[in-house]
């Protein structure tokens, strides 16, 4: 039975989602502030987290950052702020999806199911790969450890999805991929977010992996997409 952690200080919303999620067979439990959410995520190890943004003690942004330090489970943010700036902020700290309030509970359930299927597909693909360590020039990625080294030093603060994206690029050198193809290959074809998330993750990778010694680059192919190019 899949476990869902719902985090919202509005207990009416929690009870409403509980009815729909338990009907679908999910083991559902709750937290009512950001600090409790982090503790529940550590102790009960949910398969997916639905996380409200505006909460007491610790807000959803900070809770998401803390949770991302120890798990890569999908996180769906609940927010009343339907702006590009807020969505980009969430993507930068590791959120996978957004649902804007007010919402239909059936949509929340549908997105949870979609992200869980995507996560299972990603795990299956990773397990089927014989090569979990890939090295190109001055950079190497170890998917077993979720660790990246640049010029022999571990790169800190890389998000799990950034590492997965980098691994995909490095195992498909000099090939051009559209944003849609990258969403399909790295996030899963059922990802509900827009292609903007690809741009955000690539911008972050470029900033964190800057080195004058590099003989490679994540290159923008205008009007098409991106490729990991060996110079």
- Summarised one tens digit per residue, pLDDT across range 134-176 is 999 999 999 888 899 999 999 988 988 899 999 999 999 999 9
Q: Where do runs of H (alpha helix) occur along the chain?
A: 11-23, 34-44, 60-67, 84-93, 105-128, 160-170, 179-182, 196-208
pTM of the complete model beyond 0.75: no
Predicted confidence band of residue 25 (pLDDT cuts 50, 70, 90): very high
pLDDT at 127 exceeding the cut of 80: no
What 200-206 contacts at long range (C-beta under 8 Å, 24+ apart), as own/partner pairs, is 200/88, 200/91, 200/92, 201/91, 201/159, 201/161, 201/162, 201/165, 202/165, 202/226, 204/92, 204/159, 204/162, 205/158, 205/162, 205/165, 205/166
Q: What is the pLDDT of residue 218?
A: 96
Q: Are the folds of 3-126 and 130-230 the same?
A: no
Per-domain residue ranges of the chain: 3-126, 130-230
Can you read off the two tokens belonging to residue 176? 């051009």
Residue 31 to residue 41: CA distance in whole angstroms? 9
What CATH code is assigned to 130-230? 1.10.10.10
In CATH terms, the fold of domain 3-126 is Rossmann fold (3.40.50)
């Amino acid at each position: 039975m899949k476990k869902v952690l719902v985090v919202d200080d509005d207990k009416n919303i929690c009870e409403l989602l509980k009815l729909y999620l338990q009907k679908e067979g999910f083991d559902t439990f709750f937290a009512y502030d950001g600090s409790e959410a982090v503790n529940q995520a550590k102790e009960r190890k949910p398969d997916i987290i639905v996380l409200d943004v505006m909460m007491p003690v610790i807000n959803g942004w900070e809770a998401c950052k803390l949770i991302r330090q120890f798990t890569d489970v999908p996180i769906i943010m609940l927010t009343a702020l339907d702006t590009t700036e807020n969505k980009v902020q969430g993507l930068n700290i590791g959120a996978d999806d957004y649902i804007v309030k007010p919402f239909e509970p059936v949509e929340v359930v549908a997105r949870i199911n979609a992200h869980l299927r995507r996560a299972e597909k990603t795990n299956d693909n990773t397990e089927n790969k014989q090569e979990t360590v890939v090295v190109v020039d001055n950079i190497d990625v170890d998917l077993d450890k979720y660790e990246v080294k640049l010029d022999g030093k571990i790169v800190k603060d890389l998000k799990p999805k950034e590492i997965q994206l980098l691994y995909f690029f490095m195992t498909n050198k000099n090939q051009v991929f559209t944003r849609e193809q990258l969403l399909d290959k790295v996030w899963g074809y059922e990802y509900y977010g827009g292609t903007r998330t690809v741009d955000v993750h690539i911008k972050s990778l470029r900033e964190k992996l800057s080195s004058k010694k590099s003989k490679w680059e994540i290159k923008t192919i205008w009007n098409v997409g991106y490729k990991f190019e060996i110079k």
